[in-house]
């Protein structure tokens, strides 16, 4: 009579504090990786915001415009000038690339509180060509890290109007005001100058101005295959 073979009992893995810690760390790393990939790929719903695009500076690096368009970008706003001296070194190349791909395109000027409006307008006009197909110019209002000057609200609004009058005459289009949360809290530009507003806020529509936005920077985390560096993903309110 054959003897019965008893199965070898399976050894139970002992849950030591080290193993528990490793499991927690691995699980956390997996969750963070999934979240990171989601954030880098996220854009607002195209059914809700049909018109979406990108903002680029020289820091964005090389751009494959065909791939940018395929990723859902209908337009590109390109940094042209900052203050009174700086011309973005990639502006001309980006402009040519966007045109060639058939994207709509427009220029951005970063306004500097430490420079006169007329000097900044001169730099912008010397950099940005007259082009009837170009989107309206954008004036980006934020605080420069190397500029501690904080003029009064009346002075700022007067200078800003001077700048707007000159660049709008050049472009033959009313400008948009892209206003950061901190700048708007300090100067309430939305109540002082009647121009289309462009506001900022990752993932959640912003409401920090006294008027509703028409354009929104929805993500500064988005990455697009074919664009080497950082970019901003923008939408237009339908």
Q: Are 75 and 105 in contact (CB under 8 A)?
A: yes
DSSP H or E segment with residue 193: none
- How many domains are there within the chain? 2
Which carries the bigger pLDDT value, residue 40 or residue 215?
Answer: 215
Residues 71, 158, single domain; the answer is yes
pLDDT per residue over 141-153, tens digit each? 999 999 999 999 9
Structure tokens at 27: 């699980």
Residues 135, 40, single domain; the answer is no
Residues 112, 39, single domain; the answer is no
Q: Are strands 52-56 and 86-87 parallel, antiparallel or unpaired?
A: unpaired
Q: Is residue 145 part of a domain?
A: yes
Q: Can you tell me the mean pLDDT for 148-165?
A: 98
Compute CA 219 distance to the chain's CA centroid, rounded to the nearest angstrom. Answer: 6
Q: What is the pLDDT of residue 17?
A: 74
Residues 115, 130, single domain; the answer is yes
Residues 76, 166, single domain; the answer is yes
Q: Are 201 and 219 in contact (CB under 8 A)?
A: no
Residues 39, 54, single domain; the answer is no
pLDDT band at residue 28 using 50, 70 and 90 as cut-offs: low
Domain of residue 71: give its range.
Answer: 45-236
Residues 116, 191, single domain; the answer is yes
Sign of CA dihedral 103, 106, 107, 113: negative
Which carries the bigger pLDDT value, residue 90 or residue 17?
Answer: 90
Q: What is the pLDDT of residue 4?
A: 63
* pTM (2 d.p.): 0.86
């Amino acid at each position: 009579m054959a003897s019965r073979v008893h199965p070898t009992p399976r050894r139970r893995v002992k849950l030591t504090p080290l193993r528990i810690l490793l499991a927690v760390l691995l699980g956390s790393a997996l969750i963070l990786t999934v979240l990171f990939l989601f954030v880098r790929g996220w854009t607002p719903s195209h059914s809700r915001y049909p018109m979406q695009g990108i903002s680029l500076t020289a820091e964005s690096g090389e751009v494959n415009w065909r791939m940018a368009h395929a990723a859902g970008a209908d337009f590109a706003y390109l940094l042209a000038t900052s203050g009174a001296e700086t011309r973005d070194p990639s502006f001309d190349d980006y402009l040519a690339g966007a045109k060639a791909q058939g994207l709509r395109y427009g220029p951005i000027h970063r306004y500097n509180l430490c420079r006169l409006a007329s000097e900044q307008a001169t730099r912008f006009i010397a950099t940005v060509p007259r082009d009837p197909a170009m989107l309206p110019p954008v004036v980006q209002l934020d605080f420069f890290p190397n500029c501690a000057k904080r003029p009064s609200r009346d002075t700022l609004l007067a200078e800003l109007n001077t700048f707007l009058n000159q660049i709008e005459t050049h472009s033959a289009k009313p400008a948009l005001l892209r206003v950061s949360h901190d700048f708007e809290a300090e100067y309430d530009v939305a109540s002082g100058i009647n121009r289309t507003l462009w506001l900022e806020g990752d993932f959640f529509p912003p409401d920090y101005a006294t008027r509703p936005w028409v354009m929104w920077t929805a993500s500064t985390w988005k990455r697009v295959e074919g664009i080497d560096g950082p970019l901003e993903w923008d939408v237009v309110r339908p």
